[in-house]
Chain A
Amino acid sequence: MTDAAAPNGLARRAYAFLLKPEASVIVVSVALVVYFEMVNRNFLTGANVRTLSQFVAAPVIIACGEIMLLICREIDLSAGQVFALAPFLMENVNDWGVPEPLAIVAALAVCASIGLLIGLITIGLRVPSFITTLGMNFLITGLTLTISRGYPANTSGGPVLTGIMGEWAYSEIIWAVVIVAGMHIVLRHTRWGLHTVAIGGNLIASAEAGIAINRIKIGNFVLTSTLAGLCGLLEAFRVGSIDPLAGGNNMMFLGVASGVIGGTAIAGGAGTIIGGLVGGIMLAILQDGFTLQGINAFAFDIAIGLAILLAMIANTHLARLRGGGPR
């Protein structure tokens, strides 16, 4: 735009791109792909790309909700438990003779009301969402175990429905991409998204401007729980069985980590959905690459932990280079 940028506009634009949190993650991801492909020629085969896409989908769907919450300075620690509960809700409703598609809607409605409850407790009773959802984390685990009596179950439903809902190899990643696209538009191109950022950036100024802070925060809790429930359903249909211990804290933290690696500020006020997608892809490449490599399970967690730390350190310092960043 400015005259100074004109002579080497391309170089400058490339530099500006590289300073974005998403960019460093993309660069690292590409490097990882190259490395894993060199170590193991099977990495970029069709079968493995399919596996990879399944590793990506679930955390990214969870991340879409968590990113919205993190941006407005909240968090949902119970998303992984809602993930596990949703398929059991669906099966139970289905057992009462309700057709499967309606049972899915009913399960998602219950998940949404869990989000509403979290929101009402957090906003209405002024309990920090960290605590509200920590409580819900245990509460829902117990609920799922009670409903299931601790036993896994099989999913029911016709082939078309099961296919759409996750059984077909690429259906889950398609769901994830559609959700990412939708949520990206919500965050960047609607008042809802803009106000979510504003609330996280400056609560007083947002209130002063007349933004309905409580409505937006509660809405984002509902969104996160609903997405977590949907994600649990997709995974259940993909695997073909329902496990009361599916998802859980691991799934929730993968979602949060995807967002944070992709540049979402844990202190609120900044973040992108695309960053969450990129972060989720990087985590998936790591998980899948190490699995293929046959690295032992203990070393595996060390590698993931280091990757998260390194990505965060890189992001923090790139943000400083960018000039802005957190004060």
Chain B
Amino acid sequence: MSDARTEAIRAERIVKSFGNVVALNGVSMQVAHGETLGVLGDNGAGKSTLLKILTGYHQPDSGQVYVDGKPVRLGSVDEARAFGIECVYQDLALVNGLSIYHNMFLKRELLWGGPLKLLDHKSMRRRAAEALADIGVSVPSIDLEVGQLSGGQRQAIAVARAVSSNARILLLDEPLAAMGAREARLIIDLIDRLKARGDIAVVMIAHNYAQTLEICDRVILVQHGEITFESRTAETSAEELLDIVRREYRAARAG
């Protein structure tokens, strides 16, 4: 199925070292529009480094990133954003003391009054409500301070903000970490709805194998800077993934 979709982002043989530590040793991956890719792996395996290269935060030592099939240089977060790449970080994304609609429009505020450049609270409020309704996120009031929302609601707002700023490649850093079952459901349903739109590619870093297999179309397993396993989720299981990790763990203990 993923063959029929158009490729959104592709990374080819990415190598990245920090001093003597090789964080990524020739990693290649790709995601299509309307597809969700799960990136699994231990802490320190290189997941976050891969994510940060895709967001333009780090630059690879060698290797090439392609967006829509064209080679691109992601020199900064802003440059990546210009290609429609948005990342949602766990719990870092929003300002608790500001209202939902101010958060949704942070740094992209709507203005009125011509040269006076005053904040157009009214339009931002309306457009934010529309954007949330669009992807099926419900909140008690658009004026609520984000700090008064639950973790799941906050995450949903952060995702909605990325989507409403025309993200076409959405990177999610552990979107379900430290979340109860009901909260996680909120985000899983949201990702499902985004997938159904068909125009957004989602890459999510995760720890929970069962949840990742439920949400994603495809998973890759990153171990010590390399991709050691890749599969359509329909063709693998949490047991198979655990087996691979267990083998690695035993080898490490024996070694």
Contacts and interface: CB of A to CB of B under 8 A. Distances in A.
A327 B147 contact: yes
Contacts of B98: 194, 197-198, 201
A210 B148 contact: no
A51 interface: no
A198 B96 CA distance: 9
Contact of B92 (A188, A195, A198, A205): A205
A197 B107 contact: no
A184 to B, nearest CB: 12
Contacts, number: 65
Q: Which applies to chain A's interface (DSSP): helix, strand, loop or mixed?
A: helix
Given A204-B92, A327-B147, A194 B97 contact: no
A185 B118 CA distance: 8
Interface string B87-128: 001001111111000100011010100000111010000000
A209 B87 CA distance: 11
B94 A194 contact: no
Interface string A1-15: 110000000000000
B147 A208 contact: no
B216 to A, nearest CB: 25
Contacts of B121: 189
A211 interface: yes
Contacts of A208: 77, 89, 92-93
A201 B148 contact: no
Nearest to B102: A194
Nearest to A323: B148
Interface residues of A, number: 26
Interface residues of B, number: 23
Contacts of A2: 141
A197 B109 contact: no
B78 interface: yes
B95 A202 contact: yes
B93 A205 contact: yes
Nearest to A212: B107
A8 to B, nearest CB: 18
Contacts of A185: 118
A302 to B, nearest CB: 34
A1 B106 contact: no
A236 B92 CA distance: 48
Most A-side CB within 10 Å, residue of B96, B97, B107, B119? B97
Contact of B97 (A188, A189, A270): A270
Given A185-B118, A202-B96, A194 B89 contact: no
Given A200-B97, A324-B148, 10 more contacts: A185-B118, A190-B117, A190-B118, A191-B109, A197-B95, A198-B106, A205-B94, A269-B95, A269-B96, A327-B147
Interface of A: 1-2, 185, 188-191, 194-195, 197-198, 200-202, 204-206, 208-211, 269-270, 323-324, 327
